[in-house]
Structure 1
Amino acid sequence: MQIKTAFSDGTSEQLKIIDATLDEPKANEVLIKMVATGVCHTDTAGRDGLTTPLPVSLGHEGAGIVEQVGSSVMDLQPGDHVVLSFAYCGRCQHCLTGHPGMCEHFNELNFAGHNFDGSHRIHTLDGQPISTFFGQSSFSTHAVVDQHNVIKVDPTVDLRLLGPLGCGIQNGAGTILNYLQPKFGESLVIFGTGAVGLSAIMAAKLTGVERIIAVDIFDQRLSLAKELGATDVVNSKVVDAEAAIREILPNGADYTLDTTGVSPVVLNALHVLKPGGECAVVGMGRELTLNLQNDLMAEGKKSSGVIEGDAIPQLFIPKLVSFYKQGRFPFDKLIKFYDFDQINDGFAASKDGSVLKPVVTF
């Protein structure tokens, strides 16, 4: 079938919306009519050729309606409302023990540009293959995805809102609820209050954590962090973040979460931990120099990278939708909608920080 898709060949920061062809789904695959897709920083990396072979059709926080299912797909049917998340094999040790974000084939299935069988579903009109992104390429009017990417969701909820649950919001909330699992009365410091950090704050509020400290350089984001559940906020552009946090938590924090990927900020997150505390890192970053003795070993601290919130999307995303319906996880406050032909405006708003979570609608 012919579709329209947001395409990058690496020659410009402006995505091009082009006509392309999309193959029929195979036995393990599903054809989705896209309704909306969130814009994420990882899409920018893909656009710039940092993750996936170019040319590539982007988008990895999709939401849509099932139109067709392959012969081996058992739990989905046409008309189902679905969210699309990351691809995983479902067969390796990590997948089988409930950690698909650590799938042995994660990088291949999400970033190598091809489908599970090594072939392509998206082609230019003259037949040249276009790389798939995260197994979905959901900045498209339709997408063909493996059944592992697909999560059935409550049809009574506005489907346009739900795409970001597939990556950014799942990442922040899942790192708290699935990985760190802070206990009643403990403390948590979250560095960076974009969509991922604010999702973590909303999740932390669900746990009964006593202190939730949000750190950022933008007052408007810190104000929203306070509204969503932060007990304290620190503007690290105005004050020394470590000193301010130590005033609130003289013994240090039980947990910290870095969403920025900025090396000095990651060090801040390590330094403010109490002995035995743990720092979870989810931001895409570069090199980091630390003193193993002083920053980690001497006080038994831990630092861990967490992928996609250590979530099983088929179980976790419906829970987030349920909390949203209860009014306990109001992630809709992060979202602003853009028409498909305004997709580059959405990317620009994400880059300058004026919009926390742009969502492209079809």
Structure 2
Amino acid sequence: MVQLKEYLLPIILTIIIGACTDSNNAEESRLSLKGEQFKVTQGDLYVADFLAVTDSMIVFSSYDRNGNVKVYKKDDCTISESYTILRKGRSEREIHFVLPKFIDRNIMAFDKHGANGISKFLKVKLSVEKPINWSVEQTTWLNDIQTFGDFTVINDSTIIAIAGKWKSKEILSSIDLKNNLRTPLKFWIEDKQQAPDQNKQVLYSANAQIALNSDRTKLVYACGEGRFMDIMGFDGQNITSHNVVLNILPEYVYNGRKTSIRNKEYRGIKIATTDRYIYVTYSNTVENKEYKGYPGYFKDRIDVYDWDGNIIQRYETDQPFYNFIVSNDDSCLYTLSHDNETKEPTLLYYKL
């Protein structure tokens, strides 16, 4: 019997190790995607990021002084620039520093002046041919907060923004535009680093993203540094629970004046959400290093989670990209990249 046990033990260990290896390989295996390139028949693709994709149009944010938002008509594999809105300026329908989002066929945008405060909130309903139904809310009562870019909408009058009182432990705020009321949400990331609150506030707010699910019961936060994502329960007013799906916090040091990132890998994640899923970029490329012949901030891997935090799928595109969006029915992935020879921007789509 002893000899039999001694004989079986290496076999059992081999099976266990093999099973673990197979499990790890399965976990990291990715479905390869081959893209098709859109043809631009009018205008150009010098845009910043996706705001929305519908059956008839693609909407981008833009650095163009003539319009912070560009609307393109979409037809099969071609797009044509239709019009731009939110010109830089200080008139009612112009904007100085735009923070746009596309929700329910509306472009919504903050106008931010200087380091702090929000001076107005614009809402523009879009069609393929022209903008309709402008509305402008003056929000100078929000001049005491620091805003960091992203926001999402609870209802017609209330939003959640990555914003808070400067030099405080505030990252997220609920803003009631109807009643001129801001309420900080109880959300703060505790880490082991020694640094003032204001430095941590900037670190965990800058380049971060938030989004609500379709029934407004879950709020996802994606950090702009490290690889951290928290899917939180939300009751319309308060955060009720936390589900930290990704938990790699940024490593940094504080020298008495500023914070410096130590880890050169995992420099933040970018997300796109639909009613069913959260799409998350995966990249551990060292900063300032090329990635497959592209700049280091380009990516080609996307992990898909449901709103409960379960991993659903892992994709790898045939061409690295710098921004992406997914159709709300989860049938198509769109990416912004560039031609490696001409450096001209390109728009691709992938069937999922």
> What is the TM-score normalised by the length of structure 1?
0.24
Question: Relative to total residues, which structure has the larger strand share, 1 or 2?
Answer: 2
The structure whose RCO (Cα within 8 Å, separation 6+) is larger is 1
* Bigger Rg over Cα: 2
TM-score (norm 2): 0.25
The structure in which a higher percent of residues are helix is 1
